[in-house]
Chain A
Protein backbone atom coordinates (compact mmCIF):
# COMPACT_ATOMS: atom_id res chain seq x y z
CA UNK A 1 0.00 0.00 0.00
CA UNK A 2 1.71 3.18 -1.16
CA UNK A 3 0.38 5.69 1.33
CA UNK A 4 2.33 8.95 1.46
CA UNK A 5 4.33 9.67 4.59
CA UNK A 6 2.08 11.58 7.01
CA UNK A 7 3.23 15.15 7.72
CA UNK A 8 4.96 15.72 11.03
CA UNK A 9 2.73 16.93 13.76
CA UNK A 10 2.95 20.74 13.93
CA UNK A 11 3.24 20.57 17.72
CA UNK A 12 6.46 18.58 17.68
CA UNK A 13 9.19 20.82 19.14
CA UNK A 14 11.89 21.50 18.09
CA UNK A 15 11.97 20.78 14.40
CA UNK A 16 14.31 17.85 13.81
CA UNK A 17 16.94 18.15 11.12
CA UNK A 18 15.52 17.26 7.72
CA UNK A 19 15.71 13.51 7.31
CA UNK A 20 18.69 12.61 5.23
CA UNK A 21 18.71 9.22 3.54
CA UNK A 22 21.62 8.17 5.76
CA UNK A 23 19.83 9.35 8.94
CA UNK A 24 16.70 7.44 8.00
CA UNK A 25 18.74 4.34 7.30
CA UNK A 26 20.42 4.62 10.71
CA UNK A 27 17.08 5.10 12.40
CA UNK A 28 15.65 2.11 10.67
CA UNK A 29 18.66 -0.04 11.49
CA UNK A 30 18.61 0.84 15.18
CA UNK A 31 14.84 0.36 15.35
CA UNK A 32 15.10 -3.07 13.80
CA UNK A 33 17.97 -4.00 16.10
CA UNK A 34 16.50 -2.73 19.36
CA UNK A 35 12.73 -2.65 18.92
CA UNK A 36 11.58 -5.12 16.31
CA UNK A 37 13.43 -7.93 18.06
CA UNK A 38 10.81 -7.67 20.81
CA UNK A 39 7.91 -8.32 18.48
CA UNK A 40 7.20 -11.78 19.91
CA UNK A 41 7.10 -10.40 23.46
CA UNK A 42 4.78 -7.57 22.49
CA UNK A 43 2.49 -9.98 20.70
CA UNK A 44 2.29 -12.40 23.64
CA UNK A 45 1.45 -9.57 26.04
CA UNK A 46 -1.06 -8.05 23.60
CA UNK A 47 -2.75 -11.41 23.16
CA UNK A 48 -3.21 -11.86 26.88
CA UNK A 49 -4.46 -8.27 27.32
CA UNK A 50 -6.94 -8.19 24.48
CA UNK A 51 -7.96 -11.84 24.48
CA UNK A 52 -8.01 -12.28 20.70
CA UNK A 53 -5.48 -12.40 17.89
CA UNK A 54 -7.04 -9.76 15.59
CA UNK A 55 -7.00 -7.13 18.34
CA UNK A 56 -3.54 -8.23 19.40
CA UNK A 57 -2.26 -7.72 15.84
CA UNK A 58 -3.71 -4.20 15.71
CA UNK A 59 -2.42 -3.30 19.16
CA UNK A 60 1.12 -4.45 18.34
CA UNK A 61 1.12 -2.65 15.01
CA UNK A 62 -0.05 0.55 16.63
CA UNK A 63 2.59 0.18 19.35
CA UNK A 64 5.35 -0.21 16.77
CA UNK A 65 4.16 2.82 14.80
CA UNK A 66 4.05 4.96 17.94
CA UNK A 67 7.43 3.67 19.00
CA UNK A 68 8.99 4.45 15.62
CA UNK A 69 7.59 7.96 15.66
CA UNK A 70 8.99 8.50 19.16
CA UNK A 71 12.23 6.64 18.47
CA UNK A 72 14.35 9.80 18.82
CA UNK A 73 13.12 10.12 22.41
CA UNK A 74 14.16 6.61 23.35
CA UNK A 75 17.62 6.49 24.87
CA UNK A 76 19.42 3.89 22.78
CA UNK A 77 20.84 0.93 24.59
CA UNK A 78 18.52 1.22 27.62
CA UNK A 79 15.57 -1.05 28.30
CA UNK A 80 13.76 -1.08 24.95
CA UNK A 81 11.48 -3.94 25.95
CA UNK A 82 10.18 -2.06 28.99
CA UNK A 83 9.77 1.11 26.95
CA UNK A 84 7.79 -0.70 24.24
CA UNK A 85 5.62 -2.51 26.78
CA UNK A 86 4.75 0.80 28.41
CA UNK A 87 3.63 2.20 25.04
CA UNK A 88 1.63 -0.96 24.38
CA UNK A 89 -0.09 -0.85 27.73
CA UNK A 90 -1.04 2.83 27.35
CA UNK A 91 -2.44 2.15 23.90
CA UNK A 92 -4.41 -0.77 25.29
CA UNK A 93 -5.86 1.21 28.16
CA UNK A 94 -6.74 4.22 26.02
CA UNK A 95 -8.14 2.56 22.95
CA UNK A 96 -8.80 -1.12 23.38
CA UNK A 97 -9.91 -1.88 26.88
CA UNK A 98 -13.17 -0.04 26.51
CA UNK A 99 -14.01 -2.07 23.43
CA UNK A 100 -12.80 -5.47 24.57
CA UNK A 101 -12.71 -6.27 28.25
CA UNK A 102 -13.94 -4.21 31.14
CA UNK A 103 -11.87 -3.33 34.15
CA UNK A 104 -12.80 -5.40 37.15
CA UNK A 105 -15.36 -4.41 39.65
CA UNK A 106 -14.39 -7.20 42.05
CA UNK A 107 -12.48 -6.46 45.23
CA UNK A 108 -9.07 -7.94 44.52
CA UNK A 109 -7.98 -7.63 48.13
CA UNK A 110 -10.75 -9.98 49.14
CA UNK A 111 -9.26 -12.79 47.07
CA UNK A 112 -7.55 -15.25 49.38
CA UNK A 113 -6.51 -18.24 47.32
CA UNK A 114 -5.68 -21.45 49.14
CA UNK A 115 -2.34 -23.21 48.90
CA UNK A 116 -2.43 -26.01 46.35
CA UNK A 117 0.75 -27.42 47.83
CA UNK A 118 -1.04 -28.04 51.11
CA UNK A 119 -4.00 -29.60 49.32
CA UNK A 120 -1.70 -32.02 47.58
CA UNK A 121 0.34 -33.05 50.62
CA UNK A 122 -0.96 -36.61 50.64
CA UNK A 123 -1.57 -37.18 46.98
CA UNK A 124 1.02 -35.45 44.80
CA UNK A 125 3.44 -33.31 46.83
CA UNK A 126 5.85 -33.25 43.89
CA UNK A 127 3.24 -31.72 41.60
CA UNK A 128 3.62 -34.33 38.85
CA UNK A 129 0.08 -33.54 37.67
CA UNK A 130 1.40 -30.32 36.11
CA UNK A 131 3.08 -32.40 33.40
CA UNK A 132 -0.32 -33.44 32.08
CA UNK A 133 -1.65 -29.91 31.61
CA UNK A 134 -1.16 -28.56 28.08
CA UNK A 135 -0.24 -25.04 26.92
CA UNK A 136 -3.76 -24.02 25.91
CA UNK A 137 -5.15 -24.84 29.30
CA UNK A 138 -2.53 -22.71 31.04
CA UNK A 139 -3.18 -19.77 28.72
CA UNK A 140 -6.91 -20.13 29.32
CA UNK A 141 -6.31 -20.03 33.06
CA UNK A 142 -4.22 -16.85 32.67
CA UNK A 143 -6.97 -15.27 30.59
CA UNK A 144 -9.45 -15.85 33.39
CA UNK A 145 -7.42 -13.87 35.91
CA UNK A 146 -8.57 -10.36 36.82
CA UNK A 147 -6.77 -7.90 34.55
CA UNK A 148 -4.39 -6.47 37.17
CA UNK A 149 -3.24 -9.95 38.09
CA UNK A 150 -3.09 -11.09 34.49
CA UNK A 151 -0.82 -8.28 33.31
CA UNK A 152 1.50 -8.74 36.30
CA UNK A 153 1.87 -12.48 35.83
CA UNK A 154 2.37 -12.11 32.08
CA UNK A 155 5.14 -9.54 32.51
CA UNK A 156 6.82 -11.69 35.13
CA UNK A 157 6.37 -15.31 34.16
CA UNK A 158 5.86 -15.03 30.44
CA UNK A 159 8.23 -12.16 29.69
CA UNK A 160 10.70 -12.49 32.55
CA UNK A 161 10.75 -8.84 33.67
CA UNK A 162 12.14 -7.99 37.12
CA UNK A 163 9.85 -6.56 39.83
CA UNK A 164 11.41 -3.15 39.24
CA UNK A 165 10.75 -3.29 35.50
CA UNK A 166 7.18 -4.47 36.03
CA UNK A 167 6.58 -1.65 38.51
CA UNK A 168 7.77 0.85 35.92
CA UNK A 169 5.59 -0.54 33.12
CA UNK A 170 2.48 -0.77 35.31
CA UNK A 171 3.23 2.48 37.17
CA UNK A 172 2.70 0.96 40.61
CA UNK A 173 5.04 0.49 43.61
CA UNK A 174 7.22 -2.64 43.76
CA UNK A 175 5.26 -3.80 46.84
CA UNK A 176 2.09 -3.86 44.73
CA UNK A 177 3.84 -5.96 42.11
CA UNK A 178 4.84 -8.46 44.82
CA UNK A 179 1.38 -8.80 46.30
CA UNK A 180 -0.32 -9.06 42.90
CA UNK A 181 2.16 -11.65 41.77
CA UNK A 182 1.59 -13.71 44.89
CA UNK A 183 -2.17 -13.71 44.45
CA UNK A 184 -2.03 -14.18 40.71
CA UNK A 185 0.16 -17.25 40.96
CA UNK A 186 -1.92 -18.74 43.74
CA UNK A 187 -5.10 -18.18 41.74
CA UNK A 188 -3.54 -19.78 38.71
CA UNK A 189 -2.44 -22.80 40.72
CA UNK A 190 -5.92 -23.09 42.10
CA UNK A 191 -7.53 -22.98 38.67
CA UNK A 192 -5.13 -25.55 37.26
CA UNK A 193 -5.69 -27.72 40.30
CA UNK A 194 -9.46 -27.57 39.81
CA UNK A 195 -8.98 -28.39 36.15
CA UNK A 196 -6.75 -31.37 36.99
CA UNK A 197 -9.32 -32.64 39.48
CA UNK A 198 -12.05 -32.22 36.87
CA UNK A 199 -10.02 -34.17 34.32
CA UNK A 200 -9.31 -36.91 36.84
CA UNK A 201 -5.55 -36.32 36.84
CA UNK A 202 -5.72 -36.04 40.62
CA UNK A 203 -8.44 -36.91 43.08
CA UNK A 204 -8.26 -33.73 45.14
CA UNK A 205 -8.51 -33.77 48.91
CA UNK A 206 -11.88 -32.01 49.10
CA UNK A 207 -13.65 -34.87 47.33
CA UNK A 208 -11.81 -37.62 49.26
Chain B
Protein backbone atom coordinates (compact mmCIF):
# COMPACT_ATOMS: atom_id res chain seq x y z
CA UNK B 1 0.00 0.00 0.00
CA UNK B 2 1.47 3.34 -1.04
CA UNK B 3 0.21 6.86 -0.30
CA UNK B 4 -1.63 7.24 -3.58
CA UNK B 5 -3.52 3.96 -3.22
CA UNK B 6 -4.31 4.87 0.34
CA UNK B 7 -5.71 8.27 -0.63
CA UNK B 8 -7.89 6.69 -3.32
CA UNK B 9 -9.77 4.77 -0.64
CA UNK B 10 -10.02 7.66 1.78
CA UNK B 11 -13.80 8.10 1.94
CA UNK B 12 -14.57 4.41 1.50
CA UNK B 13 -12.40 3.78 4.52
CA UNK B 14 -14.05 6.50 6.60
CA UNK B 15 -17.51 5.35 5.48
CA UNK B 16 -16.67 1.75 6.46
CA UNK B 17 -17.33 0.52 2.95
CA UNK B 18 -14.15 -1.55 2.42
CA UNK B 19 -13.48 -5.24 2.80
CA UNK B 20 -11.85 -6.14 6.14
CA UNK B 21 -8.55 -6.95 4.41
CA UNK B 22 -8.31 -3.63 2.59
CA UNK B 23 -9.38 -1.81 5.71
CA UNK B 24 -6.57 -3.50 7.63
CA UNK B 25 -4.00 -2.59 4.97
CA UNK B 26 -5.03 1.04 5.11
CA UNK B 27 -5.03 1.15 8.89
CA UNK B 28 -1.49 -0.25 8.79
CA UNK B 29 -0.39 2.38 6.28
CA UNK B 30 -1.89 5.18 8.36
CA UNK B 31 0.12 4.03 11.37
CA UNK B 32 3.33 3.93 9.35
CA UNK B 33 2.80 7.16 7.40
CA UNK B 34 2.06 10.22 9.58
CA UNK B 35 1.21 12.58 6.65
CA UNK B 36 -1.51 10.20 5.41
CA UNK B 37 -2.63 9.76 9.00
CA UNK B 38 -3.08 13.52 9.41
CA UNK B 39 -4.95 13.77 6.13
CA UNK B 40 -7.38 11.03 7.16
CA UNK B 41 -7.83 12.63 10.59
CA UNK B 42 -8.71 15.92 8.91
CA UNK B 43 -11.27 14.29 6.60
CA UNK B 44 -12.80 12.35 9.47
CA UNK B 45 -13.13 15.54 11.45
CA UNK B 46 -14.84 17.16 8.47
CA UNK B 47 -17.35 14.30 8.08
CA UNK B 48 -18.13 14.28 11.81
CA UNK B 49 -18.62 18.04 11.66
CA UNK B 50 -20.89 17.77 8.63
CA UNK B 51 -23.07 15.09 10.23
CA UNK B 52 -23.33 16.90 13.54
CA UNK B 53 -24.46 20.10 11.82
CA UNK B 54 -27.07 18.53 9.55
CA UNK B 55 -28.89 15.90 11.57
CA UNK B 56 -30.49 18.11 14.17
CA UNK B 57 -33.44 19.28 12.10
CA UNK B 58 -36.68 17.27 12.17
CA UNK B 59 -40.13 17.52 10.60
CA UNK B 60 -42.39 20.21 12.09
CA UNK B 61 -45.04 18.74 14.44
CA UNK B 62 -47.86 20.27 12.34
CA UNK B 63 -46.72 18.21 9.37
CA UNK B 64 -47.08 14.97 11.29
CA UNK B 65 -50.59 15.98 12.39
CA UNK B 66 -51.48 16.91 8.83
CA UNK B 67 -50.31 13.54 7.53
CA UNK B 68 -52.10 11.56 10.24
CA UNK B 69 -55.27 13.49 9.50
CA UNK B 70 -54.94 12.84 5.80
CA UNK B 71 -54.14 9.14 6.19
CA UNK B 72 -56.48 8.13 8.97
CA UNK B 73 -58.98 10.95 8.84
CA UNK B 74 -58.27 11.93 12.43
List the interface of chain A (C-beta within 8 A of B). Answer: 1-3, 5, 28, 31, 36, 39-40, 42-44, 47, 53, 57, 60-61, 64-65, 68, 116-117, 120, 125-127, 130-131, 133-135, 138-139, 142, 154, 156-158, 160, 162-163, 178, 181-182, 185, 188-189
Contact = CB atoms under 8 A, between A and B. Distances in A.
24 contacts: A2-B73, A3-B73, A39-B58, A39-B64, A39-B67, A40-B58, A43-B57, A44-B55, A57-B63, A61-B66, A64-B67, A117-B39, A120-B42, A125-B38, A130-B49, A131-B49, A135-B53, A135-B54, A135-B56, A157-B47, A158-B54, A178-B12, A181-B11, A185-B11
Contacts of A40: 57-59
Nearest to A131: B49
Nearest to A163: B17
Given A157-B47, A185-B11, A142 B54 contact: yes
B38 A127 contact: no
A157 B12 CA distance: 13
B63 A1 contact: no
Contacts of A68: 71
A39 B12 CA distance: 28
A170 to B, nearest CB: 16
Contacts of B53: 133-135, 138-139
Interface string B29-57: 00000000011011101110111011111
B59 A60 contact: yes
A60 B43 contact: no
B58 A1 contact: no
A157 B56 contact: no
Nearest to B16: A162
Contacts of A116: 46
B11 A1 contact: no
Contacts of B38: 125
Contact of B46 (A1, A65, A127, A134): A127
Contact of A57 (B11, B41, B60): B60
